[in-house]
């Protein structure tokens, strides 16, 4: 039981229903955060302290940093009720981002729903590499496509930081595209992004060729399904997680073949991957007659994360 489910008055008297009052202490912001952090840690739920702060700040409708100036305040029952519900659900595995309906990515806030993959810090490396390549270009307009856009976080972050980018964003899920369009509108870049329903590049007719193709494709093999965390397997969209086969490289291989047909000469393909399949993915590029392997970008933990390749033929 979450202890503040028992209503305790300021004198710590026994509630009218006969349940014992465990303590006379108030459930202040500081105490709620402390108890919830321990509770999440015991349940192995995410980043315990950070998750507790995000949920309580959202319930209070205040910036997270403000919690530290309000430690001695006792939130009203309505707020504690919302927080209580979220705490219980997160302890059962439901991701914080879905509970509060948003996630920060590249210093921007994005709406997220269970229809889209939750943006992750590792994917920010994909954006950084894309922005650097666009800025190196002397072209006034650089044609870019984000394949499997999901929430739109990659496409939107690129647009916000690279004015040269003329962006197309595609996804096989209409529900995901709806979320991406709302995020583009919220960040003031909707007029710069053409959204398209497409399985990879299959149904994207225009433009005929791109200067840059970026993607965070499904790269988890079906053989890994049993090893995934409950918060991922039970809540995030499988369409965005799993490749079309056992080993995780099937969708990436399709993307490489399609990119070879749709990239301008000297254009670049960037895609995210799992460290588990990095060697195989690099081999797919190195063995392809149209591509030159340029580099493998590592994340902050030192794990292989992004492949950068150039179309040379």
- So what's the pLDDT on residue 217? 97
Above 70 in pLDDT, residue 4? no
DSSP codes, the chain: --GGGS---TT-PPPTT-PPP--SS---HHHHHHHHHHHHHHHT-SSHHHHHHHHHHHHHTS-GGGGGG-TT----HHHHHHHHHHHHHHHTT--HHHHHTEEEETTEEEE--TTSPPP-GGGHHHHHHHHHHHHH---SSEEEEEES-TTSHHHHHHHHH-TTEEEEEEES-HHHHHHHHHHHHHTT-GGGEEEEE-STTTT--SSS-EEEEEE----B-GGGGGGS-HHHHTTS-HHHHB-SSSSS-HHHHHHHHHHHHHEEEEEEEEEE--GGGHHHHHHHHHT-TTEEEEEEEE-TTS-EEEEEEEE--
Beta bridge partners of 57: none
CA–CA distance, 290 with 280 (Å, rounded to integer): 17
Residue 10 pLDDT class (50, 70, 90 cuts): very low
pLDDT in tens, 242-299: 998 888 999 999 999 999 999 999 999 999 999 999 999 999 999 999 999 999 999 9
Residue 271 phi/psi, 5° resolution?
-145, 150
pLDDT in tens, 168-214: 999 999 999 999 999 999 999 999 999 999 999 999 999 999 999 99
Residue 17 pLDDT class (50, 70, 90 cuts): very low
- So what's the pLDDT on residue 250? 96
Above 60 in pLDDT, residue 101? yes
Above 80 in pLDDT, residue 9? no
Above 80 in pLDDT, residue 24? no
Above 80 in pLDDT, residue 16? no
Peptide bond into 283 cis (omega under 30): no
Above 70 in pLDDT, residue 106? yes
* Stated pTM of the model: 0.90
pLDDT in tens, 25-37: 899 999 999 999 9
Residue 5 pLDDT class (50, 70, 90 cuts): low
- So what's the pLDDT on residue 126? 98
pLDDT in tens, 109-162: 999 999 999 999 999 999 999 999 999 999 999 999 999 999 999 999 999 999
CA–CA distance, 147 with 215 (Å, rounded to integer): 5
Chain position carrying tokens 């403000």? 66
Query: What is the average pLDDT across 3-21?
Result: 41
The percentage of residues in the chain with a pLDDT greater than 90, rounded to a whole number, is 86
- So what's the pLDDT on residue 178? 98
Domains annotated on the chain, with CATH: 3-92 (no CATH), 106-311 (3.40.50.150)
What is the dihedral sign for C-alpha 286, 291, 293, 295?
negative
């Amino acid at each position: 039981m979450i202890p503040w489910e028992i209503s305790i008055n300021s004198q710590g008297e026994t509630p009218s229903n006969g349940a014992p009052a465990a303590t006379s202490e108030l459930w202040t912001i500081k105490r709620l955060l402390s108890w919830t952090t321990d509770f999440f840690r015991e349940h192995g739920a995410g980043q315990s302290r950070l998750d507790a702060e995000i949920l309580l700040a959202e319930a209070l409708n205040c910036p997270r940093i403000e919690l530290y100036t309000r430690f001695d305040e006792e939130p009203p029952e309505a707020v504690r009720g919302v927080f209580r519900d979220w705490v219980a659900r997160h302890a059962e595995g439901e991701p914080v981002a879905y509970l509060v309906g948003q996630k920060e990515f590249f210093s921007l806030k994005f709406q997220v729903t269970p229809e889209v993959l939750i943006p992750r810090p590792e994917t920010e490396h994909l954006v950084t590499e894309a922005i650097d390549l666009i800025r190196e270009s002397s072209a006034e307009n650089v044609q870019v496509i984000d394949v499997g856009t999901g929430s739109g976080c990659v496409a939107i972050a690129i647009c916000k930081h690279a004015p040269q980018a003329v962006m197309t964003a595609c996804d096989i899920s209409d529900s995901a595209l709806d979320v991406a369009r709302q995020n583009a509108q919220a960040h003031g870049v909707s007029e710069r992004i053409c959204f398209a329903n497409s399985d990879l590049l299959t149904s994207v007719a225009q433009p005929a060729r791109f200067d840059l193709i970026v993607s965070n494709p499904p790269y988890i093999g079906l053989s890994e399904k049993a090893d995934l965390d409950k918060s991922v397997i039970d809540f995030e969209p499988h369409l965005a997680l799993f490749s079309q086969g056992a080993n995780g490289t099937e969708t990436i291989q399709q993307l490489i073949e399609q990119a070879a047909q749709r990239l301008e000469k000297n254009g670049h393909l960037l895609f995210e991957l799992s460290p588990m399949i990095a060697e195989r993915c690099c081999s797919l590029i190195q063995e392809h007659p149209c591509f030159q392997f340029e580099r493998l970008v590592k994340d902050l933990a030192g794990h292989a994360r992004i492949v950068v390749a150039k179309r040379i033929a």
